[in-house]
């Protein structure tokens, strides 16, 4: 695509703190290169606001390489924007057209309270992870490759599940604000490998219990989570989580 400069209208959610009701503010931006990333465009807007002695827009970011999952923005009604399998930091402005109006919001979920503007508190994910997403046994030093036999299919499925970056797009996309895709990815990556077996009977129970405690909704079975996940985590992991949860329940009653 030929390089272009875009003139855009941004409708951005502004919220001073968790207690503030929040509102949209409209900002015109001009001369935005189609080669810019979405976050670079937001940087340009913030530089403009600072030059005008106005409060810049707060938003999360870190690696800007599609790895960390910090760049949580709802763009024109979609988590991370219009491109499939892409984080906000890897979304480029060539996805938009000159004259477009772009609406930018934070994740919308009661378990992800807004801290300021586009920044939400996703520590609920950390508490779910601490509830069971770990291996507590002493595994010793790093082993040589192929020292522990793992079926190729299981290794591939575990690797795919471990690709989850915990951004929360699944929650933002789900009409019930469910965290099932996140939890299922974390449970799956351990359930499929021998290192994760010692806690297998308690992991799913504990992580699901913590998920419910945090206030996430139930799975809608619509597949919106997979469709908006920047790492394209499969909903088949949710089926595995359900099996792990039921088996753990039976084991705990033995």
Q: What is the CATH number of the domain that holds 26?
A: 3.10.20.30
Within this chain, do residues 188 and 206 fall inside the same structural domain, yes or no?
A: yes
Question: Which of 85, 115, 145 is the C-terminal boundary of a domain?
Answer: 115
What is the number of structural domains in the chain? Answer: 2
Within this chain, do residues 157 and 225 fall inside the same structural domain, yes or no?
A: yes
Give the CATH number of the domain where residue 145 resides.
Answer: 1.10.1060.10
Question: Which of 60, 90, 115 is the C-terminal boundary of a domain?
Answer: 115
Within this chain, do residues 248 and 127 fall inside the same structural domain, yes or no?
A: yes
- Alpha-carbon dihedral angle through residues 61, 125, 245, 159, given to the nearest 10 degrees: 30
pLDDT for residue 139: 67
pLDDT for residue 12: 98
Within this chain, do residues 108 and 136 fall inside the same structural domain, yes or no?
A: no
Reading the block at residue 125, the tokens are: 């994910």
Per-residue buried b or exposed e for 129-157, using 16+ beta carbons within 10 Å of the residue's own CB = bebbbeeeeeeeeeeeeeeeeeeeeeeeb
pLDDT for residue 193: 92
Question: How many C-beta neighbours within 10 Å does residue 7 have?
Answer: 12
pLDDT for residue 137: 75
Query: Which residues of the chain fall below pLDDT 70?
Result: 1-2, 139, 145, 252-254
**Regarding beta strands 74-75 and 78-79, do their DSSP bridges make them parallel or antiparallel, or are they unpaired?**
antiparallel
Can you tell me the distance from the alpha carbon of 188 to that of 173, in angstroms, rounded to the nearest whole number?
21
Within this chain, do residues 179 and 198 fall inside the same structural domain, yes or no?
A: yes
pLDDT for residue 80: 98
Instruction: Quote the crossing angle between the two packed helices 180-191 and 123-132, to the nearest 10°.
Output: 30
pLDDT for residue 23: 98
Within this chain, do residues 77 and 16 fall inside the same structural domain, yes or no?
A: yes
pLDDT for residue 253: 60
User: Hey, which residues does 114 pair with through a beta bridge?
Assistant: 120
Within this chain, do residues 110 and 158 fall inside the same structural domain, yes or no?
A: no
Which SS3 state, helix, strand or coil, does residue 34 take? coil
pLDDT for residue 144: 73
Within this chain, do residues 51 and 168 fall inside the same structural domain, yes or no?
A: no
Question: Which of 115, 144, 176 is the C-terminal boundary of a domain?
Answer: 115
Within this chain, do residues 230 and 131 fall inside the same structural domain, yes or no?
A: yes
User: Hey, which residues does 79 pair with through a beta bridge?
Assistant: 74
Can you tell me the distance from the alpha carbon of 204 to that of 192, in angstroms, rounded to the nearest whole number?
13
Within this chain, do residues 237 and 138 fall inside the same structural domain, yes or no?
A: yes
Which SS3 state, helix, strand or coil, does residue 130 take? helix
Range of the domain at 111: 5-115
Reading the block at residue 206, the tokens are: 């504990």
Cβ atoms of 45 and 29 within 8 Å: the answer is: yes
Can you tell me the distance from the alpha carbon of 211 to that of 203, in angstroms, rounded to the nearest whole number?
12
pLDDT for residue 149: 86
């Amino acid at each position: 695509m030929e390089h272009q400069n875009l003139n855009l209208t941004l409708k951005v959610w502004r919220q001073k703190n968790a207690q503030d009701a929040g509102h949209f503010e409209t900002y015109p931006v001009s001369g935005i290169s189609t080669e810019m990333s979405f976050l670079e465009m937001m940087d340009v807007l913030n530089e403009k606001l600072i030059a005008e002695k106005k409060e810049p827009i707060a938003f999360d970011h870190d690696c800007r390489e599609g790895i960390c999952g910090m760049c949580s923005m709802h763009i024109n009604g979609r988590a991370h924007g219009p491109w499939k399998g892409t984080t906000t930091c890897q979304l480029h402005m060539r996805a938009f057209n000159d004259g477009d109006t772009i609406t930018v919001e934070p994740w919308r979920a009661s378990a992800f309270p807004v801290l300021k503007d586009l920044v939400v508190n996703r520590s609920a994910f950390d508490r779910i992870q601490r509830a069971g997403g770990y291996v507590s046994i002493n595994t010793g030093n790093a082993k040589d490759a192929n020292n522990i036999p793992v079926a190729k299919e299981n290794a591939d499925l575990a690797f795919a599940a471990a690709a989850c970056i915990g951004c929360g797009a699944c929650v933002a996309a789900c009409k019930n604000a469910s965290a099932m895709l996140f939890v299922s990815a974390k449970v799956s990556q351990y359930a499929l490998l021998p290192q994760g077996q010692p806690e297998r009977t308690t992991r799913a129970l504990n992580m699901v219990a913590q998920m419910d405690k945090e206030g996430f909704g139930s799975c809608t079975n619509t597949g919106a989570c997979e469709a908006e996940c920047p790492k394209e985590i499969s909903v088949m992991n949710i089926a595995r989580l359900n099996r792990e949860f039921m088996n753990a329940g039976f084991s705990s009653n033995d």
